[in-house]
Amino acid sequence: MAQKNNFSRLVLQTEREKESDRKIAEKAKKAARQAAEKAKKERERAKLLNEKERAKLYIEARILEAEEKTESVEEVVEELENLLSTSIKKKLVVELEKFKTPLIFAPFNPGILAVAEHPPLLEKYLPPEPTGMAKVLPWAKKKHEQTVLEGREQHAAAYEAYQAREKLRKDKLFKAKTQYDDQIALTRRASEAHHKEIDEWKANLRVGLPTAIVDFFTLVLEKSEYPDGFPQHAKLAYVPESKQLVIEYDLPTFNVIPEAGVYKYLKSKDELIESVRPIAQRKSLYASMVAQITLRTLYELFANDQHKHLETIVLNGYVDSIDKGTGRAVRVCLVTVRTTRDVFEQLDLTKVDPVVCLKTLSASISKSPTELTPVRPVVEFNMVDPRFIEETDVISSLDSRQNLMELTPSQFESLITNLFQKMGLEARQTQASRDGGVDCVAYDPRPIFGGKVVIQAKRYKHTVGVSAVRDLFGTMQNEGASKGILVTTSGYGKASYEFASGKPLELLDGANLLHLLAEHTGIEAKIIMIESWKDPQPDTLVAEE
């Protein structure tokens, strides 16, 4: 019985152990399953976090992209707003001497050609001296002598080959050195020629040769740094009689003003939204930009005039665009100004409002530059002395033209009267002036713009004095005229232009006269001074240098 009880207990214990093992196994499986589920959830959570993080980073990148695009646009706007101040800070200085390229030559480097080969040594080809019995045995001595002879022959052949290689090396070295010296000489000659051209340019500029002056100030304008997209092209002509530089300057179109305003990222559509810059703001900036370019150009030209060749500058600013009404290409003058050095140097350009400043200089500015509303140039570029306009062939027709200085007084009077009649004025000659010129009282029949016009013409050799301009203004007031025109075969100085500025006076020099004659009467004339010619005494005394 006891034995049965023991067996029962053993069986029960075994069952209990199995149950315990099963429970432990189940618990282990459950724990493993829970761990796996937990790990899975962690992975899903981590994946979700990564996706959120990536989404967050993407949104931040897009927002940053919008900010950068906005910042880029604002940098362009800021650059356009500060075209004038930037130039004043940089102080553009053009010195022709700096255009000389220094002669810097790399030393001659022959490389391996400079390394001479060592000649072959005879000792290496000869056998060692015999020793012991070899010195006395006849056959040994004979063999040694034969070996010595063969060694000497081998050395001679090696030495001959060495000399051939050395000759080839030296020939190549000589050729390389000759080529180097020739290149140096060629570069030196080219540099010397270039330096000579610069020196001649400097000398011509110093004495006031018109072509040298035009070339120099063209270079000044080319060296002025503007934003990308600016045409930076200009035509220049110089009138030495009046020390006047006339410029036809190309302006950028309205398109250089950014149309975009602020960029923002729209999360719902995942795209950048661009706000449009107000049109009024763009128009205001364009008008300011045109004024800044004008003042900046005048500033840079006067600042680089070391030899004081410029007393007066006329600048006409043009823009090439498309007429939206016709679809045709148009070239429109948006700004025109004539100023003298004395007047311009009184300005503090660091504090001015560019548009207001130009008005102070009596400039004509387009009332609506964005709509291509034109202004009439103070001086048409093609009215400047054609000798200084590269497109005009003066020499070929020079001999066939009538010299105005050789006309009789009555012929000249008739010519001037006829000219203004052809221009649409009802011109009537009055009496001979005290200086042998032409005095006319004319009427402009146009309504509103028309009225009485006093015209005076003077055949002068030297610059017309400012007293003549004052006299014309006085005559105009006495006659009750609305405008006065002074025409001369020479030119005017800065005092004359300064006096005429802001007054209803128009000063036409010799180049203007030739242009008007050709355009309105078909007369191709020239102005060549006669050696015996003398200007009338009153104005000669006050003629400007």
Q: Each residue of 76-122: pLDDT tens digit?
A: 999 999 999 999 999 999 998 888 888 888 899 999 988 998 999 98
Residue 62 backbone dihedrals phi, psi, to 5 degrees? -70, -40
pLDDT higher than 80, residue 480 = no
The C-alpha torsion from 49 through 52 and 55 to 57, rounded to 10°, is -60
Inter-axis angle of helices 279-303 and 210-223, to 10 degrees? Answer: 140
Higher-confidence residue: 400 or 191?
191
pLDDT higher than 50, residue 451 = yes
The C-alpha torsion from 397 through 400 and 406 to 407, rounded to 10°, is -110
What are the C-alpha distances in Å from 130 to residues 125, 152, 212, 427, 485? 15, 17, 91, 131, 122
pLDDT at 392: 32
For β-strands 329-340 and 244-251, DSSP reports them as unpaired
CA distance linking residue 534 with residue 461, whole number of Å: 7
Q: What is the 3-state secondary structure (H, E, C) of 445-503?
A: CCCCCCEEEEEEEECCCCCECHHHHHHHHHHHHHHCCCEEEEEECCCECHHHHHHHCCC
The listed CATH number (3.40.605.10, 3.50.50.60, 3.40.1350.10, 3.30.565.10) that belongs to domain 393-541: 3.40.1350.10
CA distance linking residue 522 with residue 508, whole number of Å: 18
User: Which residues does residue 54 pair with via DSSP β-bridges, in sequence order?
Assistant: none
pLDDT at 416: 82
Compute the 3-state secondary structure of the chain and give helix, strand, coil in percent, each to the nearest 5. 55, 15, 30
Inter-axis angle of helices 2-81 and 83-90, to 10 degrees? Answer: 80
pLDDT at 310: 93
For β-strands 483-488 and 364-365, DSSP reports them as unpaired
pLDDT tier for residue 11 given thresholds of 50, 70 and 90: low
Q: Strands, E, within 277-365: which ranges? A: 312-322, 329-340, 364-365
CA distance linking residue 72 with residue 325, whole number of Å: 33
CA distance linking residue 494 with residue 498, whole number of Å: 6
CA distance linking residue 58 with residue 64, whole number of Å: 10
Count Cβ atoms within 10 A of the Cβ of residue 399 and give its class: 0-12 exposed, 13-18 middle, 19 or more buried: exposed
pTM of the model: 0.64
Mean pLDDT of 324-336: 88
Mean pLDDT of 390-415: 60
User: 250-283, pLDDT tens digit by residue?
Assistant: 999 999 999 988 889 888 888 888 889 999 999 9
pLDDT tier for residue 10 given thresholds of 50, 70 and 90: low
pLDDT tier for residue 9 given thresholds of 50, 70 and 90: low
CA distance linking residue 78 with residue 240, whole number of Å: 39
DSSP string, 241-266: TTTEEEEEEEEPPGGGS--EEEEEEE
User: 58-69, pLDDT tens digit by residue?
Assistant: 888 888 888 888
pLDDT at 84: 93
Unique residue bearing structure tokens 């001015």: 352
pLDDT higher than 60, residue 212 = yes
pLDDT at 489: 87
Q: What are the extents of the domains in the chain?
A: 2-81, 86-92+224-387, 111-207, 393-541
